Amino acid sequence: MKLLLKAGLLIDGTGTTAVSEGAVVIEGDRISKVCKQSELLESDISGAEIIHKPNGTLMPGFIEMHSHIHCSAHTDAYTHITTESNETFLMRGTQAVRSALSSGVTTMRDLGSRNEVVFPLRKGIQDGIIPGPRFLVAGTPITTTGGHCNMFGTEANTSHEVVQAIRQQFKLGADHIKIMSTGGGFTPGTNVRAPQYSSEVLRGAVEDAERLGLKVAAHCHAAKGVVNCVKAGVHNLIHCSWLAEDPENMYDYDTDIADEMAEKGIYIDPTLALSHLNRMRGRIPVPGPGPASDPGRRFEILRDMWDRGVKFVTGMDSGMTNANFDDFAYIPQVMVEEMGISPIEAIICSTKTSADCLGMEAEIGTLSESKSADVLIIDGDPSADIKLLHSVDTIVSQGKIVKKEGILLI
Domains within the chain, CATH numbers bracketed? 2-61+366-408 (2.30.40.10), 62-328 (3.20.20.140)
The pLDDT score that the predictor gives to residue 290 is 55
Write the CB contacts of 123 (distance below 8 Å, at least 6 apart in sequence). none
Pick from 365, 272, 345, 336: nearest CA to 63: 365
Q: Over the stretch 330-389, which tens digit does the pLDDT of each residue have?
A: 999 999 999 999 999 999 999 999 999 999 999 999 999 999 999 999 999 999 999 999
Tell me if 288 sits within 8 A of 250, measured CB to CB.
no
Scanning 241-358, the segments in alpha helix (DSSP H) are 255-264, 274-280, 295-307, 330-334, 343-348, 354-358
Residue 246, amino acid: D
DSSP for 35-80, written as a single string: EEGGG--HHHHTT-EEEEEEEEEEEEPEEEEEE-TTS--STTHHHH
Q: Over the stretch 54-97, which tens digit does the pLDDT of each residue have?
A: 999 999 999 999 999 999 999 988 899 999 999 999 999 999 99
Instruction: Please report the beta strands in 138-180, taking only residues with DSSP state E, as ranges in sequence order.
Output: 142-143, 154-155, 177-180
Q: How confident is the model at residue 177 (pLDDT cuts 50, 70, 90)?
A: very high
Overall average pLDDT of the 99-122 stretch: 97
Overall average pLDDT of the 37-42 stretch: 97
- The C-alpha atoms of residue 215 and residue 340 are separated, in whole angstroms, by 30
What is the b/e burial string over 7-37, where b = at least 16 CB atoms within 10 angstroms of the residue's CB? bbbbbbbeeeebbeebbbbbbeeebebbbeb
Tell me if 189 sits within 8 A of 158, measured CB to CB.
no
Q: Which of 3-7, 190-194, 260-264, 290-294 has the lowest mean pLDDT?
A: 290-294
Q: Over the stretch 111-159, which tens digit does the pLDDT of each residue have?
A: 999 999 999 999 999 999 999 999 999 999 999 999 999 999 999 999 9
Termini Cα distance of the chain: 18
Tell me the β-bridge partners of 110. 67, 137
- The C-alpha atoms of residue 386 and residue 384 are separated, in whole angstroms, by 6
Q: How confident is the model at residue 292 (pLDDT cuts 50, 70, 90)?
A: low
Distances (CA, A) of 245 to 221, 234, 253, 267, 399: 10, 21, 11, 23, 49
The pLDDT score that the predictor gives to residue 37 is 98
The pLDDT score that the predictor gives to residue 295 is 82
Pick from 303, 374, 394, 393: nearest CA to 30: 374
The pLDDT score that the predictor gives to residue 17 is 87
Q: How confident is the model at residue 285 (pLDDT cuts 50, 70, 90)?
A: low
The pLDDT score that the predictor gives to residue 129 is 97
Tell me if 159 sits within 8 A of 144, measured CB to CB.
no
Q: Is the pLDDT of residue 289 over 90?
A: no
Rounded to 10°, the helix 255-264/295-307 angle is 50
Distances (CA, A) of 215 to 137, 218, 258: 12, 10, 20
- Indicate the SS3 state at residue 203: helix
